[in-house]
Structures are given as C-alpha cells and as structure tokens.
Amino acid sequence: MRQEVDFDIVVIGGGIVGLASAYKIALGHPDIHIAVLEKEEELAAHQTGHNSGVIHSGLYYKPGSNKAKTCAKGRKELVAFAKEHNIPYEICGKIIVATQEKELANLEKIFRNGLENEIEGVEKIGPDEIKKIEPFCHGIAGIRVPCTGIIDFTEVAKKLAELIEANREANKVLTSHKVSGFDKHDFFTRVVTNQGTLDARYIINCAGLQCDRVAKANGVEPEMKIVPFRGDYYELTDEAKEKVKGLIYPVPDPAFPFLGVHFTRMVDGSVECGPNAVFSFKREGYGKTDFSFRDCWDALSYPGTWKMFLKNCRYGLGEYTRAFSKKLFLRQLQRLIPSLIADDVKPGKAGVRAQALGPNGELIDDFRIKRQGRSIHVLNAPSPAATAALAIGDYVNQIATEYFKLKD
C-alpha cells in the first residue's frame, strides 16, 4: 500500500473490540500502518472496564446468530490468549437457578438452546446439586454451565495494545485523542482530534457508546440510536463473600436483553452482585445522578426511545426503583441466597451499556456493521462482545480485507 498518509487504517475506540480489530488486522496485514485512537487517558475506560468480567459460554444466544458463533469461537480464543500471555483467568463454571415454578419453562428453553449451540458440558441440575455447588443458594431447578469463566478484560485490552505496537514500529495506540470530525479527500480522510490531525486511507469506527455520533460525523446515517443503560452493582463484604463460590445467575426474562441480577466471583476474589438496568441520563455517567443535557436530548428526542419505554414501562419502573433502594435490591439477591442481610452488601461499581435502538423502539440484539465510503462502522456490539472480541476482530478484519481491498 502507498505510504504518503500517516496511517493506512485508523481505528476509533480503545475498548476491547477496537483493539481486537486492530490486532487482527495488524496480524493479517503486517505491511500496513495502523493507529487506534482512544479519547480517554486510559484504554478500556468505559464498557470494557466496567463489565462483569465474565467469559460467557454462548448459552443464551439464538442458534446460528452472529452472537452465538462469535461467542463460542471468541471464548476459546480468549482463553488461549490469556494462557499465552499470562493474563489471570479462571474457568469456574456457573449455574442458572430457577426459584419459582413459573421460571421452569424458560429454564428448559435455555437448556435446549445450550444444547443446540453445542455448549460443552451443559447439564440440568436439581436442588441437591445446586446446594453441592453453591451451599447458600436456594433453587428448585437449575442448569450447570462448566465452561463459563472470569477474567480481567482491561488486562486483555492492555495486552492487545502492546501487541499492536510490537507488531510494527509505525503502529500506534494513542490515548487522549478525541475525534471531533473528518475532512474527506479523494484518497484519504483527515481525522481531526484534540491533539491535531492524522491522515488515514480508511476509518474503522469501534467507538461503543459514541459509535452512532462518530458515524454521523463521518457522513454515515446509522439508522439506529445508542441509548445508554446504567447497571449498578453491589459487592459482598469480606464476611459474606464466602457465601458465593462461583457464578450464580437467575433465569432471565426473555422479553429483555438483560440477564438479571446475579452473583459474580471476580478474579481478585471479590464478589459482585448485579447489575440492574436503568436508563442513564449520561452516556458515560456512572453515578446515579450523573446528567448530560446533550445525551438526554439525544435519547429523549428519538421516537424509538419513547416507544421502547412504553413497551417496557413496568419493568423499567421496577429497575429504577431498585437503583435507589438497597432494600429492594437486596430482596432480588435474596431470591437466590435467602440468608443475605443488609450488612452483607455494600455499594460497588457501575457500568453503562450501549443499547442500540431502532426507530420503532426495537432492541437491536445482534451485531450491526455498516460499510460506506472509505469507512466501516461497528454500530452494535452487544454482550458478549468482550468474550467474543477476538472473533469479532477476525470478522472486522475479513470485512476490511474485502471492502478496503487490503493485500495479505
């Protein structure tokens, strides 16, 4: 490729999807120059660094969907990557627990889905098996998923950045580079940032919570809107965390793309409880009262947001009430571990999920990637994006190779 520009490809977004995409392109095309631009001072500052740290099995996803395929492939590659680069992880397994008769039908659907997705070792368990695995957990039936694990995705992101720069001296991973616009020319695009400009032949947008705005700035209509949902976590105290051995999940409501309040033992030994899922008044707002006029106007002026609210008003009200009530949050936790008391839990971190919404209020549940001009835009990479990141990187590399006509 000709080298009169600064970079052949600029990837916007230093989360795990952007870094994995850049890493796979760098591996597949060692002669090109590639840069990753992250607006924050640190990599993985938003969705990657605020998720639950779970290596998902792929149990829940529609068989044959991109989510199911990339999760299974990405999970195995992620574990191999962690082994190779000495990143702490553990395949601890998880259980999904039904506490009421009305949940049994959905539990059975999840189990059949797991079989169809060929999840290794997935099996039904009864109350006695639940107690053997998690002595403090109450349930009438469950599913054991032995291939689920835990990892620190921020460490994975940092290692990917290190490998991108090590692959070729001209490759750069640049933090504190906020993209504010694009100046298009015949054979390149000038990327305008707060640190100056960079010229690139091609652009790949992996900006997560800001991906729709980056697309529009690049002249691409995303045909969807990112609406942020905050998830608040509690953490078990040192005395109470022994009540959880691994990962304990409820049976999720199939009408929503959230997995419900669950227990996660992290790689550092702490135990997180959560998250809930509430509309966030700021795209990158991790506090309950964080507010951005621009973000609110963006979400609330979009017809799809109100249509989604009207469809799910009862669920949303319950989630929002729990966000401000420790007592109600604890009540959700006690469905799985009845012996928990208020003194066992303390406030933990929060995360914000980039939920893509269609104009009719539909929750866009699978990956969405749009190609236009000299750019590729990853407009939706929902959970399990962190687990599947290396497989998503392969997919983006394949698209870039074909669409940008990159040479091997």
| Distance from C-alpha of 383 to C-alpha of 44, rounded to nearest angstrom | 15
Task: Give domain status of residue 86, yes or no.
Answer: no
CATH number (domain holding residue 25): 3.50.50.60
In a domain, 88, yes or no: no
Residues 174 and 266 in one domain: no
Q: For residue 81, which amino acid is it?
A: F
Q: How many CA atoms lie within 13 A of 359 on its CB side?
A: 3
pLDDT for the residue 64 = 87
- What average pLDDT does the segment 192-200 reach? 98
Q: 23 in a domain, yes or no? A: yes
Residue 371 lies in a domain: yes
User: Cα separation of 106 and 109, whole Å?
Assistant: 5
Question: Is 114 a member of any domain?
Answer: yes
pLDDT tier at 320 (50, 70, 90 boundaries)? low
pLDDT category of residue 366 using cuts at 50, 70 and 90: confident
Question: For 265-283, how does the pLDDT look when each residue is reduced to its tens digit (9 = 90+)?
Answer: 999 999 999 888 889 999 9
Mean pLDDT to the nearest integer, 286-303 = 96
* Residue 352 neighbours by CB distance under 10 Å: 21
Question: Is the pTM here over 0.75, yes or no?
Answer: yes
CATH number, domain containing residue 290: 3.30.9
At residue 254 the predicted structure's pLDDT band, cuts being 50, 70 and 90, is confident
> Based on the domain organization, do 239 and 197 belong to the same domain?
no
Domain count, the chain: 3
Please report, rounded to a whole number, the percentage of residues in the chain having pLDDT higher than 70.
96
In a domain, 263, yes or no: yes
The helix/strand/coil state of 60 is coil
Q: 3-state DSSP call for residue 36?
A: strand
- pLDDT tens for 111-169 read 999 999 999 999 999 999 999 999 999 999 999 999 999 999 999 999 999 999 999 99
Confidence of residue 175 (pLDDT cuts 50, 70, 90): very high
Q: Are residues 180 and 212 in the same domain?
A: yes
Residue 259 has pLDDT above 80, yes or no: no
Residue 3: pLDDT over 70:
no
In Å, the largest CA–CA distance within the chain is 68
- In this structure, the answer to whether residues 35 and 180 fall within a common structural domain is yes
Q: Would you state the pLDDT for residue 1?
A: 44
Same domain, 164 and 279: no
Residue 99 lies in a domain: yes
Please state whether beta strands 247-250 and 189-193 pair in parallel, antiparallel, or not at all (unpaired): unpaired
Same domain for 239 and 300?
yes
Q: Are residues 324 and 277 in the same domain?
A: yes
In a domain, residue 287? The reply is yes
Its domain, for residue 125, covers 94-146
- Residues 325, 369, single domain; the answer is no
Together in a domain, 231 and 333: yes
Q: Are residues 141 and 11 in the same domain?
A: no
Q: Residue 41 above 90 pLDDT? A: yes
Residue 258: per-residue pLDDT:
66
pLDDT of the residue at 256: 65
| Mean local confidence (pLDDT), 273-298 | 94
**pLDDT tens-digit profile of 61-94?**
999 888 999 999 999 999 999 999 999 999 999 9
Question: 312 with 186, same domain?
Answer: no
- Residue 173, SS3 per DSSP: strand
34 and 180 belong to one structural domain: yes
Structural tokens at position 149:
């694990």
Question: Residue range 339-368: average pLDDT?
Answer: 94
Higher pLDDT, 288 or 159: 159
Between 147 and 325, name the one with better pLDDT.
147
Distances (CA, A) of 199 to 4, 82, 86, 103, 178: 9, 34, 36, 55, 15
